[in-house]
Structures are given as structure tokens and as C-alpha cells.
Amino acid sequence: MQDDLIVHQPTVPARQLVLLFHGVGASPEGLLPLGQPLARPDRWVVAVRSPFASDMGSGWQWFSVRGVDEANRIERVVAVMPHFVQTVKDWQARAGLDASATALAGFSQGAIMALESTQHAPPLAARVVAMAGRFAQPPRLAPDGTALHFIHGEQDPVIAPAFSVAAAERLRALGATARVDLLPGLGHGIDGRVLTLLSAALDPDLEA
């Protein structure tokens, strides 16, 4: 937790904990432009640092993407998931909030971790927002009490937007609440449209 970046700390009794997860080779500081507009008096906003130094030259990672494929990606996510879960629980303990007041928002590899966490019980969060992300494998169950929102650039050359579309369809078929927004002209990145959608998805008073 000491390596995580507190973007905003509540000035009144907290109603929500928002945890942001960066992509591979990046850092919490890179999420400041995304996290700062999310600040409000009753909300924690924390950019979490991935636990391991990236083996791609700079930044941090949850798992290596060297030689990654459809089979070993699953294995790598499973191996580090206990660390991810504990990170979320540690911040919940500090904030004094439970899963019903927690939102996870990840970009790219951060989104992979947040999404895959929904396939484990009990649920970690009421809201999960995946930006330019995917499941490591197709979702197997509808997370109880968790709404999922996929935001993806239509021109993403790194993680195909089809992964978001397929996951949302599969989740809805399983009985989950899932929404997908595809953004024309956007590649593997974040723009103002993503921030607008993220802000709405995190609002406890709105449907994600």
C-alpha cells in the first residue's frame, strides 16, 4: 500500500472507494489525469501500483507479457490473483468500506486483473470498469452484486474490442449486469470520452 498513490482522500465520511489499476510498464502517476477529475468529498480515489517491476524496461506489472499467449495468460493471472485480492481488501480496511462501496477501474493489464477478480467469490466490488481490457478467459459466472462496464476503443491494436463485446454478451447471458461502450477513433488509450463514461459508471447513484 505504501507504493500506491492516494489521488484523493475524503473530507467527509467516505461513501466509496475507487481503486485504479494501470497497464503493464506504467505507474500510478500516469493515472493522475484520470483520477483527479473523479475526486469528490466522500470518495477515496487511489491509483494502485502493480507489485512487480516490468520486464519490458520501465514501470510495473502484475504479470509478464513476454511470450504471453491464451493459455499461459490464464496461469499468470491465477498466480498473482491472491496479491490483487489482498491489495483490494487492504484498501477496504483502511477506508472502512466493504465490497458494496468499492469500485475497481483498470486499464489494459489492470483491467484484466479487475475483470478476473469478479470470477472469484466473495465479490470484491460493486462496480468494475474495464478500459481497453479483457478477461484472461471467457467469464464463467455472473458475479453476485457486481455491475461491469467495458469501455474500448474501436481501433485498439493491442487488445481487440471484440473481447469486450463478447465478454459483455456472455456475462448478460449468465445473468450479470454488463454494459459495453465502443469509442470510434480511439486506439489503446484513454480520452475524454472514457473519463466521462468512467465517471458515470462509478457513481453510486446511477446505474453502471
Active site residues: 108, 156, 188
Instruction: Note whether 48 and 19 are within 8 A (CB).
Output: yes
Q: What string of DSSP letters covers 144-182? A: TT-EEEEEEETT-SSS-HHHHHHHHHHHHHHT-EEEEEE
CB 3 within 8 A of CB 53: no
Beta pairing class for 43-48 and 5-8: antiparallel
Q: Among candidates 1, 13, 14, 188, which has minimal Cα distance to 101?
A: 14
Joined grid coordinates for residue 84: 490483487
**CA 82 centroid distance within chain:** 16
The helix or strand, by DSSP H or E, that contains position 89, with its residue range, turns out to be helix 70-95
